[in-house]
Structure 1
Amino acid sequence: MRVVLAEDLFLLRDGLVRLLEAYDFEIAAAVESGPELSRALAELKPDVAVVDVRLPPSFTDEGLQCALAARRETPGLPVLVLSQHVEQLYATELLAGSSRGVGYLLKDRVAEVREFVDAVVRVARGGTALDPEVVAQLLGRSRKQDVLANLTPREREVLGLMAEGRTNSAIARQLVVSDGAVEKHVSNIFLKLGLSPSDGDHRRVLAVLTYLRS
């Protein structure tokens, strides 16, 4: 699996390269600025891009904007964004376009190596990966706005795990319930959020977008 990595801090960039290579990823390019990232994504067409939100020269949201531009040029290009802090606007902007193959993690999550690697793989395969802290803040904001008022506490918990990119089986293991119980909760979430029957994975993302866009 070929990766383009963008991180301006040398030590973190080098650490990420070593970590990913240890798990048999091929580092197609490891860059430190927005312009370098744009060129690498356009020329190399990687399986997944792992991108710091803030990159030179602007040090604002340069990395995110380069990644979004690349996804417009190559629809579905998988992008996992790393951020120092939770920025709800960044998460919303990332998920506002095509909802497949996107992720948003806090940099601290890199220390949880297995979970980080799983997130990279999940995004590369077209799934989603949202940091639990991002999900918690977004769910908290949504509760204040009563977007999820009709959901039970358990359904909110299931929705939070869905937003992290967990499968029904993974949710069942974490909550220590049956797969059937999780399927029932997910169906109730779709019903209460007004998401009509369609592709299952697509509705999972739409359930997350319902409160992201509220």
Structure 2
Amino acid sequence: MSVQVDSPITFGIGGSFNWLVGGAVGGAVGSLLFGLVLWLADPAIITEAVPAIYGLEPVGTAGWLFHLGHGLVLGAVFGYLVTRSPVFGTLMADVETDFIAAMGPGTRLVLAGFVYGLAVWAILPVIVLTLWTAVGPGEAAFPGLAFESLVGHLLYGLLLGALFALVAQLERDVEQAEAPFEEAGESR
């Protein structure tokens, strides 16, 4: 059996909490990839800067655990957001743009993850972390505007969206999705 990300998702975990499991799995694995990017750029970002955000001294794997926890929580938030009716309906809507219309649900979720990763980067390290370190307990030298931070967040989002599409069973949701606007092909 070959897995196609563009077909409706007919496998994976179903039920009421598929968004939570899919988001948590995608977020955890995505944060490991993001952490690897940071580790290759400068290991001190993970080992020293992440614990320093909370005013802690670098101890063992604390930075990795915090980073993994951040990714897991943000992944669950992604899962929650993309499965709410207005957002999911918009993602799965029939549109007139050929490029987007040709994309299946899996590809749309991957791209939603990419946009989410970009939004997380813009909000958390660029704005919130800058304010937090200015008034908070730590003096973290986290590279909020650094290229590796942007690349890491984008990779995180891509992997989050892809794993979410693979883990969360969404076939029924895709079939029942209703756009909060008039879709292409509807009478005007």
Asked if TM exceeds 0.5, the reply is no
The structure whose Rg is larger is: 2
Instruction: Give the TM-score taking structure 1 as reference length.
Output: 0.25
Task: Work out which structure has the larger RCO, using CA pairs closer than 8 Å and 6 or more positions apart in sequence.
Answer: 2
Higher strand share: 1
Instruction: Give the TM-score taking structure 2 as reference length.
Output: 0.27
Higher helix share: 2
